[in-house]
Structure 1
Amino acid sequence: MRPGGLTCTAQRRNERGMTHAPSSSARPLRVVRATAPLTGTLRVPGDKSISHRALMFASLARGETRISGLLEGEDVLCTAAAMRALGADAVREGAGCWRVSGPGIGQLREPDTVLDMGNSGTAARLLSGILASHGMTSVMTGDASLRRRPMKRVMDPLAQTGATFLAREGGRLPMAIRGLADPHPLDYRLPVASAQVKSAVLLAGLNAAGQTRVEEPVATRDHTENMLRHFGATVTVTSTPQGGRVIVLEGRPDLVARDIVVPGDPSSAAFPIVAALLVPGSDIVIEGVGLNPLRTGLFTTLRDMGAQLEISGERVEGGEPVGDLHVRASALHGVTVPAERAPSMIDEYPILAVAAAQAAGVSRFCGVEELRVKESDRLAATVALLEANGVQTRVEGDDLMVFGTAGAVPGGGLVQTHMDHRLAMSASVLGLVAQKPVAIDDTAFIDTSFPGYLDLMNTLGAGFSA
């Protein structure tokens, strides 16, 4: 293998037709309180989790897959570049529309350059499962944020396939993987609920003879299982008496290309939803949002808090439930969110904390330890975001408590985002209702998951101005 070739940033420029390198400078934002309600109808970008998986599975299927609604954020474009480096043909044919075909299970080629996964822990961990189960040597890296995040929790189970890993202390990127062409099937019980680890193990099992079995203590998002079935794999899921699930995959299936429609990302929809709930008089509709029950814990929690959030037009697209959301401004109150709900809303806790800050009473989010290993230590960063703007919090073990202000968030603070897109967007929503302006140190990396976020929010009347 050799270093060099197109970096992920260069690949992203090519996909978007850019002729000049993007600025490396930060894009700070100062957000002032909204002076009018948010109104309008919008669509949020395609689901990031499903977009990553669509590119990977299409590259392992026989034939040509057409994907519509693909999220074209920087993270997903890095996944497209990685699959090309492994021998797939992934071509953009229009906005969100891609044509993908690949060499198939067991036939990927050794990349001749380092695979740059950008900011995406999901892509890096899932792709580890594919790389560990192919007879090749590969190296993955990412941006500064991704290089700080631990990969050991996927390295440990994947090493049981016979693959070998070499990484920095703590299992951090860059990471070299020497995979096997004939990997061992795995029987693995997750110590902590994680859709990423579960998916990495199942992806490794695609090229293993026999059955791969994964037991999870709590049900986590099941996009991998749904997409495996969509492409023709045999996957069975049973519930355990303790409330978990056992997933069994029959190895070496004949995956056959099938078209995919990527629904709107519920994690992205969370930001305009909470903004509309908090800004007085707001009334918006978000069309075509994914409603997978293992992803909609935020919607349940907001309703528990008193949110006027209605779902209509429910349908199934590409094996995933989809619907339209009608959101109106609401007076929210504090709630206790049980730990078992955390996997269905783990990415939404920062914006939920913003909703809790504006609500009346105390909210307690139980069992949120997974936040410590996200793009940043999201637990510490969420606490810092709120306290910098006059909102009292408390961390007790793995629980986060937010003391609501009943609509009187002081604001006036500077939010350090630590290159975390969800923190930046959460801070922008807080600024719309805070009494004093909220400053955000950088919003440049919001494009990793929500391209055009600031512009889209401005169409509703947010009034964001750099």
Structure 2
Amino acid sequence: MKAIVKPTSHLEGEINALSSKNYTTRYLLIGALANGTSTIYYPAHSEDSDAMRRCVRDLGAIIEEDDEKIVITGFGKNPKHVSELNVGNAGAVLRFLMSTAAFCPEVTFVNTYPESLGKRPHDDLIDTLQQMGVEVQHNNGRLPITIKGGQPRGGKITVSGNVSSQFLSSLLFMTPLLEEDSEIEVLHDLKSKIIVGQTLEVLAQAGIVVHASEDLMHYRIPGGQSYEAKEYVIQGDYPGSAAILAAAAVTNSDVRVLRLEENSKQGEKACVDVLKAMGVDLTHDNGVVHVRGNQHLVAGEFDGDHFTDAVLAMVAAAVFAEGTSRFYNVENLRYKECDRITDYLNELRKAGADVEERQSEIIVHGKPQGVEGGVEINAHFDHRVIMALTVVGLRSEKGLTIRDAHHVAKSYPQYFDHLRSIGAQVELVSES
């Protein structure tokens, strides 16, 4: 599907933020790892969360769902023995479940997206699972990956945090169920620490005890624990909402996004502060972010590691800011569904933006007058790229046509519907 994004000068209206994908996948996993029945209210519906639903059901969880909630009866540390799991293009789901799969005799994670998830490395988690006595067969750290488990061992464990925090989160979900106590030391650096905070928050809600050092580089996890069956409520999603807020910021607008908690542990909440720093007229009260955009933005410098999944949307806003913006500490963007630095910036240049890259930086020389557009660009099968490029298209002189735009459904299936509901001119057409 192609998205034909036409120049749109004015956006106005109110949107309910979609439910958080990150929290939905985590609550589904802890519900599956519990002995008993949990209820999850207002779950996200996206390709990622659907992949977790599908896989935990394959592993033996019983799931019933209506318009408001999911009721899930878990399998504890005794998942059903399955030969294959298909996570689609969901990297977090793959990584979280690789550790859970260590309780199974043999499971192969198949490679259905060779041009996206199939290219992403998972060596760091593979190395750690092997330390725990789990045999792993793999394709140079990539899919397909076969986990030969059954009896994973605790004890002293090391994991690299250089590429992704998801490897650490995966271990934090699994190690409480082991017979032995575990100690996890994070080597090198730890990317996206604030997302690890989400994992620790969810574990605590499920009654799991984890002793974490203040810098989140060392953990002591008592063994022999069990997840409590509970009720959970999913909060609104900041990563997806960041693109809506960026669209409002670069146009003349009066837009309100609801269900965005001020005290959320989502790192992408920082997008509100980034936009404020860019001079956007914005308030955040009682879970409502209200943007009154006037197309006048100023450049700034921002540590992107704090809001990884909102960086591309904020870069899109910076394309139209007065001055030069710098987003630093963002190397982990290179290891997502695509290389979100090189691939994304190449598309921005086609649209007329003036951008530069470093290994771990994105530099944007703003064009307050706008960009020309008028070209067809490649989404690289990446939902975050699609959303951010749409923001640029709305403020371009001639619009943009985005190929493979249906991949936005990975995290935000209603994205284009929500944008059109506040006045964005976007036409969706089938690709010939």
1:445 pairs with 2:407: yes
2:348 to 368, 379, 386: 386
1:80 pairs with 2:45: no
Retained in 1: the 8 A contact 2:132–2:157?
A: no
1:204-243 per-residue CA deviation (whole Å, 9 max, x = no partner) reads 3122221333446463312211111111011233324xxx
Take 1:415 and 1:253, find their aligned partners in 2: how far apart are those partners? Answer: 50
1:156 pairs with 2:131: no
1:49-102 per-residue CA deviation (whole Å, 9 max, x = no partner) reads 11111111101112211111111112211111111111110122x225111011
Distance 1:191 1:422, change over 3 A: closer
Amino acid at match of 1:120: A
**1:391 Cα deviation after fit:** 1.0
Take 1:172 and 1:328, find their aligned partners in 2: how far apart are those partners? Answer: 45
Counterpart residue number, 1:358: 320
Take 2:254 and 2:27, find their aligned partners in 1: how far apart are those partners? Answer: 33
Amino acid at match of 2:87: M
2:106 to 137, 145, 158: 137
Counterpart residue number, 1:194: 164
Higher relative contact order (CA 8 A, sep 6+): 2
Counterpart residue number, 2:300: 335
Retained in 2: the 8 A contact 1:233–1:250?
A: no
**1:248 Cα deviation after fit:** 3.0
Retained in 2: the 8 A contact 1:276–1:284?
A: yes
Identity of aligned residues (%): 25
1:123 to 86, 90, 93: 93
Q: Report which stretch shifted further, 377-386 or 212-221.
A: 212-221
Counterpart residue number, 1:55: 28
Amino acid at match of 1:393: V
Amino acid at match of 2:228: V
- SS of structure 2 residue aligned to 1:129: helix
**1:245 Cα deviation after fit:** 4.5
Amino acid at match of 2:125: V
Amino acid at match of 2:306: S
Retained in 2: the 8 A contact 1:311–1:325?
A: yes
Counterpart residue number, 2:6: 32
Counterpart residue number, 1:412: 374
Amino acid at match of 1:405: K
Distance 1:449 1:102, change over 3 A: same
Amino acid at match of 1:38: L
Retained in 1: the 8 A contact 2:128–2:157?
A: no
2:230 to 258, 269, 278: 258
1:165 pairs with 2:140: no
Counterpart residue number, 1:375: 337
Retained in 1: the 8 A contact 2:125–2:159?
A: no
- 5+ unaligned residues in a row in structure 1: which ranges? 1-26, 314-322
1:210 pairs with 2:153: no
Amino acid at match of 1:425: M
Take 1:78 and 1:103, find their aligned partners in 2: how far apart are those partners? Answer: 17
2:221 to 239, 249, 274: 249
- SS of structure 1 residue aligned to 2:194: coil
1:164-194 per-residue CA deviation (whole Å, 9 max, x = no partner) reads 111113x111110011324223432534273
Retained in 2: the 8 A contact 1:186–1:205?
A: no
Take 1:44 and 1:437, find their aligned partners in 2: how far apart are those partners? Answer: 25
Retained in 2: the 8 A contact 1:45–1:69?
A: no
Amino acid at match of 1:356: A
TM-score, scaled relative to structure 2:
0.92
**1:418 Cα deviation after fit:** 1.3
Amino acid at match of 1:337: F
Amino acid at match of 2:300: V
- SS of structure 2 residue aligned to 1:206: helix
Take 1:182 and 1:190, find their aligned partners in 2: how far apart are those partners? Answer: 19
Counterpart residue number, 1:238: 213
Distance 1:308 1:188, change over 3 A: farther
**1:359 Cα deviation after fit:** 0.8
Distance 1:189 1:152, change over 3 A: closer
Alignment size in residue pairs? 418
Take 2:369 and 2:214, find their aligned partners in 1: how far apart are those partners? Answer: 42
Counterpart residue number, 1:5: none
Distance 1:266 1:383, change over 3 A: same
RMSD, matched Cα: 1.8
Counterpart residue number, 1:401: 363
**1:463 Cα deviation after fit:** 2.1
1:433 pairs with 2:366: no
Take 2:225 and 2:285, find their aligned partners in 1: how far apart are those partners? Answer: 37
- SS of structure 1 residue aligned to 2:92: helix
Take 1:395 and 1:60, find their aligned partners in 2: how far apart are those partners? Answer: 42
Counterpart residue number, 2:200: 225
Q: Report which stretch shifted further, 393-402 or 187-196.
A: 187-196
**1:293 Cα deviation after fit:** 5.4
Q: Report which stretch shifted further, 416-425 or 329-338.
A: 329-338
- SS of structure 2 residue aligned to 1:345: helix
TM-score, scaled relative to structure 1:
0.86
